[in-house]
Amino acid sequence: METFEPVIVAFCCHYCAYTAADMAGTQRLSYPPNVKIIRVPCSGKVDTIHILKAFEKGADGVYVAGCLEGDCHFKKGNVRAAKRVEQGRILLESVGIEGERLEMVNLSAGMGEGFAETARQITEKIRKLGPNPVRISKEK
C-alpha cells in the first residue's frame, strides 16, 4: 500500500515566519519537502478566500505563520490572521472538511528550529487525517 504524503501550504509572513524558514534551511534543519511555502508581506494579508482556495486546489492542510503576538511589523496583522483562520475553520467544517486541517502559528525570525518542528508536526497530523476530501472527489 502506498503511503499518503500530504500537501501542506504554509502562508508565511515575510519578516518573521519566512525568515524562520530560511534560517531552518541555513541551519540545515530538515522538515518535510511537502510543505509549500508562500511568502506574504504580512500574515494579516492572508484572507479567508486564499485559505479556502488552497484547499480547493488540493492542499491537505494549511497553516498561516505570522510574527509573535505583539511583535507584528504591521501592528495587528497576526491578530487579523488568527481571526481569519478561525473563520476558515468554521467554513471548512460547514462543508465537511475537518477544521483541524487549518492552523495559525506564531514564530520569530530566529526560530528556525521552531519552523522545522511546526512543519513536521502539522505534516504528521495531516498524514493521520488522510487526504483532503475535496481532492479525493476531484480524483474520482
pLDDT of residue 33: 93
For the segment 44-102, what is each residue's pLDDT rounded down to a tens digit? Answer: 999 999 999 999 999 999 999 999 988 888 889 999 999 999 999 999 999 999 999 99
CA dist., res. 94 & res. 25, Å (int): 37
Q: Which residue has better confidence, 73 or 106?
A: 106
Write down the pTM of the prediction. 0.93
For the segment 15-27, what is each residue's pLDDT rounded down to a tens digit? Answer: 999 999 999 999 9
Is the pLDDT reported for residue 140 higher than 90?
A: no
Read off the C-alpha cell for 7: 500537501
Closest to 97 in 3D by CA, of 127, 130, 70 = 130
Q: How confident is the model at residue 2 (pLDDT cuts 50, 70, 90)?
A: low
User: In whole angstroms, how far apart are CA 43 and each of 14, 73, 76, 78, 112?
Assistant: 8, 10, 10, 6, 18
Q: How confident is the model at residue 134 (pLDDT cuts 50, 70, 90)?
A: confident
pLDDT of residue 1: 47
| C-beta separation of 119 from 35 below 8 A | yes
Q: Answer yes or no: CATH 2.60.40 is held by domain 8-139.
A: no
Q: How confident is the model at residue 126 (pLDDT cuts 50, 70, 90)?
A: very high
CA dist., res. 36 & res. 140, Å (int): 24
pLDDT of residue 139: 58
Q: Which residues make Cβ contacts (< 8 Å) with residue 128, sequence separation at least 6?
A: none
CA dist., res. 48 & res. 56, Å (int): 12
For the segment 32-44, what is each residue's pLDDT rounded down to a tens digit? Answer: 999 999 999 999 9
